[in-house]
Amino acid sequence: MNKETLTLLNQHSINVLVLQNSFGGQTIKRGINYYKSNLVEEIWDVVEIDGGKIMKVSGSVFGSGSSSYETDVTLHVKDSSVIVRSECSCPVGYNCKHGIALLFFFLHAMQDEEEAFGASAPITHAEITPELDEWLEAINTEQNRDPVAEKQAEAERTEYHVLYLLDIKPDLRQEKTLQVTPVKVRRLKAGGYGKEYRLESYHLLNDPNRLHSPNLYYDENDVAIFRKLSTQQSTGFYHGYSGGPQALEKESGGQLLLKIISSGRCYWQTQKADKPLSIGADRNMTLNWQAEGKNKRITLDITPPATTLLPLGDIYYLDLEQQEVGQLMHESLSQKQIKYFLKAPPVPVEKAEALTRKILHLFPDTEVPLPEPIEITNIEITGQKPRFHLHLHATDVPALGQQSSHTLHIASLTLQYGDTFYQPQTLADTQQALTTKLEGTTRYRIHRDIETEQTAFQRLRDYGFSSLDPNHTPYGVFDMIMLTPEGLQKSVEQWDHFKSSGVPLLEAEGWEVTIDESFKLKVDTSDDWHAELEESEGGDWFELSLGFELDGQRVNLLPLVVKLLAADNHNPQELHRRLQEQEYQLLQISDHHWVKVPCKRLLTVLDTLIELYSLDSLNADGNIEFSKFDGMHYGELLNDPGLRWKGAKELKQLNRQLQSFDGIEAAELPKGLQATLREYQQDGYNWLTFMQQYQFNGILADDMGLGKTLQTLSILLAEKESGRANLPSLVIAPTSLMSNWRREVEKFAPALSVLVLQGQHRKGKFGQLTEHDIVLTTYPLIIRDKEVYEKQEFHYLILDEAQAIKNAKAKSTQQIYSLKSNHRLCLSGTPIENHLGELWSMFHFLMPGYLGTQERFNRLFRYPIEKHGNTARGEQLRKRTQPFMLRRTKDVVAKELPEKTEIIRSVPLSGKQRDLYETVRLAMDKKVRDEISKKGLARSHIMILDALLKLRQVCCDPQLVKLDKARSVKESAKFELLMSMVPEMVEEGRKILIFSQFTTMLGIIEKALRKQKIPTTKLTGQTRKREEAISHFQEGDAAVFLISLKAGGTGLNLTAADTVIHYDPWWNPAVEQQATDRAYRLGQDKPVFVYKLLTEETVEEKILQLQAKKQALADSMYGSSDQDLNLGQNDLLDLLKPLI
């Protein structure tokens, strides 16, 4: 491993030796190569377990071919180090190269975050990547969960349940064991549970309904528990868990115990207990030696008291009074140390002093219970520089999972202060300026020179040494080995470099370096090569031998080269590239004997052998899973008389319903609807009615402007008139659409009562939810007011602009998933903006499980379609989603549309923009009043226009206002409304004209559109190449044409446009109409949509109202009429009134 990789592992307390023992050097090397080759596809989940002691990272990693594997990496914090394990869907199954690749991908992501923000920097959403933002939100969501409460609530929804009964019983060796007995019970209507039935592993693990039925009596947590129980017994005399009581493994059973308790269905001995066991807080314990006759025994005190201890590796207490299980902690001793103290045999009084000395030797500076007090002499060693002793030696260590062992070559550094020798054992020891060492009854207190020690320690690290892990080896941090990500060969290279170059330098600086006879690592060079070619008798076969001599012994090279190729996954091309960059290649002759081979000569051999090897291609097998809603696609299979189905009753019933349906019938419109639906809108209402009748949920995905809101109001009104809507319906929409929804209800369905929960005063209305037919709120407020919505069940739950939940792991999306309703509906003109994962999120909201889990969906649909262009899989997905998604584009229903449709879209001012408007209004109101008072109304024309201009600029965008107070205002309600509309329109293929009389505003819009890579052209009074700008829109790829009213309000023929947006209202309707007619004119063959954007309860809205009554007045105000400005004082004061 290189220095950077070792540093990365050390930063996260991952010991290199332990990692190599778990995965193997070659696996680590290949995994790092996979990571560097960008084969890690993504991390989709990071979960903390047991208070952060365990972190599970889940993701997908590409294999050597086109397949990707689902990989889980578990990092278990134990004492001061981290143990790494992995599971994978690849053929290896566990501790594979895909796990190493995912581990390094995750560690580098963590490192990037720490480098960007520092250890104590606050992290905000704007400062981190979307992937890390999702990860933080997932962690935050996990922290706020109550697993026991969730499991109990889930259990209420099923008739049968899995319970776990715990008890302490002796095993065959009469040792106490903690045993668990899983049983299946039925919840009784009168409360409690009924008769217990034995539950065996195959009931769950081989249940054909497990992957697609939503109403099982067990969950995935139960499956994981049974799988662990099965694995436990597989390591013993039996294969698989076969039911009945089973003892939990003492060393690893603690985590399984916590998992069982967290199910919320775990009881002590009997299900008749008042409540299930729960996980309690850690409790403190003290150990004392008490005299009992001629002996002394260790005693245990627990605070607060507990019922008993559980026989597990770590020390857990059981408190039956509180029905709690938790861990016991000691202020100085670890769990293992506590366990050994508790196992201490009786100590004869005459042996107490001798035992005390031995305990003191083990714990020289730790407060531990002593059988006999003893007097210690303390000696201080201060003001001395350390001397360094480096000893090179070797030891044999067992190979993981094998009976054989391998040799570990170690460099051990010892410090000498005076006549006392000391070697730090842990990283914490290396930082302690004061160290205590006990020799006999003398305690030496060494005041160390940490800076000099660290300099020496770093010198060795610079040569490539890494510390051994004192928690998993009998060595300390000053016992070091050469271990690199590149594997054993690189370690040998570094040893060779250190012995030949490093040792002489250290000895010259005063270090004492000794080499033990056990250190047998040897590296030779090869100069003279030999080759032999033997021909068979028939001349059909030849035998080539190639090699060299070392110490008088002949070495065959070809087996070494084949072994080298195998180490590189039989990838000669990669090996060829690497050898071209090196001067020498190390080849292993025997365990400790290596030889340097010139790469140029070795490449000549490889050019011959390269065609004998090729990469293995692996194909992953998978099963087809489908939910009950997929019954419409499997009708023929379900009704095949030659097939005997078990558990398919519900699927067959659904299939019969669908088969008996010959088409969507026309539904009668509600009587209170104040609108005439176009034919396609009637079809949409029919579809919504059908979805309601069959308890389906879907996506109404019509283009913008085709009346999704009207169709939705039709079904809501029909539900009310039928009496089925006995609960309120909740509509969640962007903030900019709140006013539009309210106006549409008032216009088309006045019989529906509406409650708008928005703004600062909304909390006072929470108690009115059940008094209204429709409740309107926004996506951000769903999180803030979640406690209100979680308690309320709704008739319909409707998401407008439902692409807002495209991020399935976002906190707001997760909250929306959890809301309760009878029916669900998504409204979105762009259900897929970037990738298919957004479609999955919507369907997971509509019908959880219909498209499977997110991981399954990615594996079966998203990745094959998006990354590999699998059209067959794309067609399969289309068939599954088509019945539940109704989409009509503007082009399809063009014949039903009027030639021109005018739509007013309004939005309220809020926050600092609202405050700015009020500030400008107050200032201009005073100026206007003073001006009129001094000069009279007739001579105050310029001041009045200036006042109205500034207010209109605030409405458009605070950046237009040339005031110091406006510079800090970043909110722009109307601009945000525009930018929420245009991308969706462009996605629908629309060609858009945007008119404004402020050229600066057009520049702001242009900059934002170009940032989103939307092709744009612009025409203002400063545009010199007008024809080129027009042609770019009419005949080119520009989707948006920004036009100032003065420069392009007349004389242009822009029939390519089908959408006109008036960003700021022009108070002379004739001028506004002329601008609209740039698109709506002779030669236009498409319906034209005209949008007028307004800010609510501002001068814009008021002047439009005034325009209807005083047309001549509005014209004269803006110089488009010859009439005088006939503005009464009351009219003026009305325009300058404050916001409501």
- In 687-773, DSSP assigns E strands to 698-700, 729-733, 754-756
What would the pLDDT profile of 1073-1130 be if each residue is shown by its tens digit? 777 777 765 566 788 889 999 998 888 887 777 655 544 444 444 444 333 334 455 6
What would the pLDDT profile of 306-323 be if each residue is shown by its tens digit? 999 998 888 899 999 999
Question: Over 60: is that where the pLDDT of 133 sits?
Answer: no
Looking at residue 707, what is its pLDDT?
87
Contact between 924 and 952 under an 8 Å Cβ cutoff? The reply is no
What would the pLDDT profile of 1040-1054 be if each residue is shown by its tens digit? 999 988 777 555 778
Q: Are strands 522-525 and 593-598 parallel, antiparallel or unpaired?
A: parallel
The pTM score is 0.42
Contact between 26 and 565 under an 8 Å Cβ cutoff? The reply is no
* Domain endpoint, select from 226, 251, 279: 279
Distance from C-alpha of 1117 to C-alpha of 250, rounded to nearest angstrom: 88
Per-residue tokens: 331: 């202020």
Clarify whether residues 972 and 936 are in a common domain.
yes
Contact between 299 and 305 under an 8 Å Cβ cutoff? The reply is no
Looking at residue 544, what is its pLDDT?
54
Question: Over 80: is that where the pLDDT of 345 sits?
Answer: yes
Q: Residue 153: pLDDT band by 50, 70, 90 thresholds?
A: very low
Mean pLDDT, range 793-813, rounded to an integer: 93
Looking at residue 639, what is its pLDDT?
54
Coil, helix or strand at residue 154: helix
Distance of CA 831 to the CA centre of its chain: 21
Q: Residue 203: pLDDT band by 50, 70, 90 thresholds?
A: low
Clarify whether residues 693 and 828 are in a common domain.
yes
Contact between 316 and 310 under an 8 Å Cβ cutoff? The reply is yes
> Comparing 379-383, 543-547, 673-677, which segment has the lowest mean pLDDT?
543-547
Contact between 690 and 646 under an 8 Å Cβ cutoff? The reply is no
Distance from C-alpha of 1069 to C-alpha of 1108, rounded to nearest angstrom: 10
Clarify whether residues 485 and 595 are in a common domain.
no
Clarify whether residues 300 and 275 are in a common domain.
no
What number of other Cβ atoms are within 10 A of residue 920's Cβ?
20
Tell me what the pLDDT averaged over the chain comes to. Answer: 79
Looking at residue 753, what is its pLDDT?
96
> Comparing 2-16, 232-246, 339-353, 948-962, which segment has the lowest mean pLDDT?
232-246
Give the closest residue to 298 by CA, choosing from 280, 281, 310, 285: 285
> Comparing 211-225, 462-476, 912-926, which segment has the lowest mean pLDDT?
211-225
Question: Over 70: is that where the pLDDT of 409 sits?
Answer: yes
Position 777 in a domain: yes
- In 208-337, DSSP assigns E strands to 246-247, 266-268, 278-279, 283-292, 295-303, 308-310, 316-319, 324-329
> Comparing 2-16, 373-387, 704-718, 1013-1027, which segment has the lowest mean pLDDT?
2-16
- Angstrom distances, CA of residue 732 to CA of 51, 344, 764, 769, 789: 35, 65, 19, 14, 11
Distance from C-alpha of 391 to C-alpha of 635, rounded to nearest angstrom: 76
DSSP string over 351-393? GHHHHHHHHHHH-TTS----SS----EEEEE-S---EEEEEEE
What would the pLDDT profile of 873-890 be if each residue is shown by its tens digit? 787 788 778 888 898 887
Give the closest residue to 908 by CA, choosing from 1050, 707, 1098, 1080: 1098
Per-residue tokens: 143: 């922290």
Clarify whether residues 945 and 862 are in a common domain.
no
Per-residue tokens: 943: 């001041």
Contacts with 107 (C-beta within 8 Å, 6 or more apart), sequence order: 8, 9, 12
Position 618 in a domain: no
Looking at residue 955, what is its pLDDT?
93
* Domain endpoint, select from 235, 256, 279: 279
Distance from C-alpha of 523 to C-alpha of 493, rounded to nearest angstrom: 8
Looking at residue 130, what is its pLDDT?
45
DSSP 498: I
Mean pLDDT, range 634-661, rounded to an integer: 48
Looking at residue 112, what is its pLDDT?
64
Q: Provide the β-strand partners of residue 58.
A: 45, 72
Q: Provide the β-strand partners of residue 310.
A: 316
Per-residue tokens: 515: 């080499």
Mean pLDDT, range 336-357, rounded to an integer: 80
Most confident of 563-572, 686-695, 770-779: 770-779
Clarify whether residues 964 and 873 are in a common domain.
no
Question: Over 60: is that where the pLDDT of 735 sits?
Answer: yes
Question: Over 80: is that where the pLDDT of 653 sits?
Answer: no
Distance from C-alpha of 1060 to C-alpha of 1087, rounded to nearest angstrom: 11
Contacts with 358 (C-beta within 8 Å, 6 or more apart), sequence order: none
* Domain endpoint, select from 279, 306, 321: 279
Distance from C-alpha of 1119 to C-alpha of 1045, rounded to nearest angstrom: 14
Clarify whether residues 973 and 946 are in a common domain.
yes
Contacts with 1104 (C-beta within 8 Å, 6 or more apart), sequence order: 1065, 1067, 1094
Question: Over 90: is that where the pLDDT of 396 sits?
Answer: no
Distance from C-alpha of 239 to C-alpha of 237, rounded to nearest angstrom: 7
Boundaries of domain holding 606? 524-612
Clarify whether residues 162 and 264 are in a common domain.
yes
Per-residue tokens: 518: 């056990």
Question: Over 50: is that where the pLDDT of 7 sits?
Answer: yes
Position 654 in a domain: no
Contact between 16 and 483 under an 8 Å Cβ cutoff? The reply is yes
Mean pLDDT, range 930-953, rounded to an integer: 80
Q: What is the domain-level CATH number for residue 1041?
A: 3.40.50.300
What would the pLDDT profile of 179-189 be if each residue is shown by its tens digit? 999 998 988 88
Distance from C-alpha of 188 to C-alpha of 177, rounded to nearest angstrom: 32
Clarify whether residues 1046 and 1072 are in a common domain.
yes
Position 852 in a domain: yes
Looking at residue 811, what is its pLDDT?
92
Position 325 in a domain: yes
Distance of CA 513 to the CA centre of its chain: 51
Clarify whether residues 275 and 298 are in a common domain.
no
> Comparing 66-80, 91-105, 612-626, 679-693, which segment has the lowest mean pLDDT?
612-626
- In 541-658, DSSP assigns E strands to 542-550, 553-556, 584-588, 593-598
Position 632 in a domain: no
> Comparing 190-204, 640-654, 885-899, which segment has the lowest mean pLDDT?
640-654
Question: Over 90: is that where the pLDDT of 730 sits?
Answer: yes
Looking at residue 649, what is its pLDDT?
52
Position 573 in a domain: yes
Distance from C-alpha of 1065 to C-alpha of 674, rounded to nearest angstrom: 28
Distance from C-alpha of 681 to C-alpha of 712, rounded to nearest angstrom: 10
Mean pLDDT, range 1054-1077, rounded to an integer: 80
Higher per-residue pLDDT: 951 or 145: 951
Give the closest residue to 108 by CA, choosing from 15, 53, 35, 44: 35
What would the pLDDT profile of 489-522 be if each residue is shown by its tens digit? 788 888 888 888 889 999 998 999 999 988 888 8
Contact between 565 and 613 under an 8 Å Cβ cutoff? The reply is yes
Query: pLDDT exceeding 90 applies to what percent of the chain?
Result: 23
Clarify whether residues 138 and 153 are in a common domain.
no
Higher per-residue pLDDT: 947 or 1104: 947
DSSP string over 850-868? TT--HHHHIIIIIHHHHHH
Most confident of 93-97, 394-398, 584-588, 669-673: 669-673
Query: Number of helices (H) and strands (E), helices first, in the chain?
Result: 41, 44
Q: What is the domain-level CATH number for residue 735?
A: 3.40.50.10810
Higher per-residue pLDDT: 836 or 562: 836
Higher per-residue pLDDT: 1107 or 270: 270
> Comparing 25-34, 169-178, 561-570, which segment has the lowest mean pLDDT?
561-570
Give the closest residue to 220 by CA, choosing from 160, 136, 154: 154
Distance from C-alpha of 379 to C-alpha of 872, rounded to nearest angstrom: 81
Most confident of 348-352, 626-630, 785-789: 785-789
What would the pLDDT profile of 66-96 be if each residue is shown by its tens digit? 678 889 998 887 766 788 888 888 877 788 8
Position 658 in a domain: no
Q: Residue 979: pLDDT band by 50, 70, 90 thresholds?
A: very high
Place of tokens 């004998």: 612
Higher per-residue pLDDT: 1003 or 550: 1003
Clarify whether residues 433 and 305 are in a common domain.
no
Contact between 765 and 747 under an 8 Å Cβ cutoff? The reply is no
Coil, helix or strand at residue 113: helix
Looking at residue 1129, what is its pLDDT?
57
DSSP 670: P
Question: Domains in the chain: how many in total?
Answer: 7
